[in-house]
């Protein structure tokens, strides 16, 4: 019996230490890949105020939503579109009254720095001709928000059918950007903020906002979250100071 009690005592101490360590780290934030630089700066600014630094995980919103639906431990979700947040909310995985759309973005055509082409992006613009048989880099248009927005815009502008068999599909928008940066695709469609973040591409055209659904980023706290600072960090991201950080990286704020 004495030995049994000793084992229980060790387990309780170990559990206590693990719980303390869990609270020493900041809230876990699952964020769309396009937020890498801005969310990292926001996290650093929060830590500079004396808080535990948030743990950031970046991927396509579709991949993050599936992680949440598979019970991945996390506190906040920031999606690059409303549909994936809707999907998570329908499954009852958000804390009530914590969802808020707070950022916006634009869609642009990019090419390598050596590419001097510039398009007036309008109906039937000569995108297929410009590819010259090469591929157009997009985030996966069947699942990833940036790719879905791009497909919608190309369909609206009447050019999707001319390029749909030449799509190089990236697992997220940064993967699509990387193909253009490496010269593996002569053109790609990404967010304006991704173009700003890269020193290896230039904007070759800007898509009319009317050509695709509004690009908005919702944030919400996950129902499974127990971190004591999750709500405070969410409020920081929605604050004027948070907005200033995101504006610095080219996002619109709402």
Q: Distance between CA 135 and CA 166 in Å, rounded?
A: 5
Residues 96, 124 share a domain: no
User: What percent of the chain shows pLDDT beyond 90?
Assistant: 89
Domain edge (last residue) among 194, 211, 228: 211
Residues 167, 152 share a domain: yes
Residues 118, 205 share a domain: yes
Domains: count for the chain: 2
Q: Distance between CA 114 and CA 86 in Å, rounded?
A: 40
Tokens representing residue 72 in the block: 């991945």
3-state secondary structure of 214: coil
**Residue 9 clears pLDDT 50, i.e. is over it:** no
pLDDT on residue 59 = 98
Domain edge (last residue) among 211, 226, 245: 211
Residues 180, 159 share a domain: yes
Residues 142, 86 share a domain: no
pLDDT on residue 233 = 98
Residues 113, 74 share a domain: no
Residues 88, 8 share a domain: yes
Structure confidence by residue, pLDDT tens digits, 184-208: 999 999 999 999 999 999 999 999 9
Q: What is the CA radius of gyration of the chain?
A: 21
Residues 115, 87 share a domain: no
Residues 207, 84 share a domain: no
Angle at 118 between CA 115 and CA 119, to 5 degrees: 135
Q: Which domain range does residue 229 map to?
A: 2-103+216-253
Residues 226, 181 share a domain: no
Angle at 212 between CA 37 and CA 215, to 5 degrees: 30
Q: Distance between CA 95 and CA 133 in Å, rounded?
A: 48
pTM of the model: 0.89
Structure confidence by residue, pLDDT tens digits, 197-247: 999 999 999 999 999 999 999 999 999 999 999 999 999 999 999 999 999
Residues 99, 222 share a domain: yes
**Which helix or strand (DSSP H or E) is residue 88 part of?**
helix 82-90
**Residue 83 clears pLDDT 90, i.e. is over it:** yes
Residues 176, 244 share a domain: no
CA dihedral for 184, 190, 195, 198, sign (positive or negative): negative
Phi, psi torsion values for 233, nearest 5 degrees:
-70, -40
**Tell me, what CATH number does 68's domain have?**
3.40.190.10
pLDDT on residue 12 = 35
């Amino acid at each position: 019996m004495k030995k049994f009690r000793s084992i229980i005592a060790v387990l309780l101490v170990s559990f206590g230490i693990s719980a303390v360590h869990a609270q020493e780290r900041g809230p876990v934030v699952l964020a769309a890949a396009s937020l890498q630089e801005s969310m990292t700066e926001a996290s650093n600014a929060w830590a500079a105020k004396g808080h535990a630094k948030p743990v950031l995980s970046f991927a396509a919103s579709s991949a993050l939503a599936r992680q949440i639906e598979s019970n991945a431990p996390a506190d906040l979700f920031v999606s690059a579109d409303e549909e994936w947040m809707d999907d998570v909310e329908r499954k009852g995985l958000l804390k009530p009254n914590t969802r808020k759309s707070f950022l916006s973005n634009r869609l642009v055509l990019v090419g390598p720095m050596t590419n001097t082409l510039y398009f007036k992006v309008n109906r039937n613009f000569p995108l297929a001709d410009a590819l010259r048989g090469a591929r157009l880099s997009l985030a996966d248009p069947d699942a990833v928000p940036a790719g879905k927005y791009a497909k919608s815009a190309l369909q609206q502008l009447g050019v999707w059918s001319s390029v749909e068999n030449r799509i190089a599909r990236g697992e997220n928008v940064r993967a699509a950007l990387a193909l253009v940066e490496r010269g593996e695709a002569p053109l790609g469609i990404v967010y304006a903020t991704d173009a700003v973040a890269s020193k290896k591409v230039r904007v070759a055209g800007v898509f009319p906002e009317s050509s695709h659904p509004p690009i908005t980023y919702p944030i919400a706290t996950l129902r499974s979250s127990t971190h004591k600072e999750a709500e405070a960090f969410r409020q920081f991201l929605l604050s004027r100071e948070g907005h200033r950080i995101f504006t610095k990286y080219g996002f619109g704020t709402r």
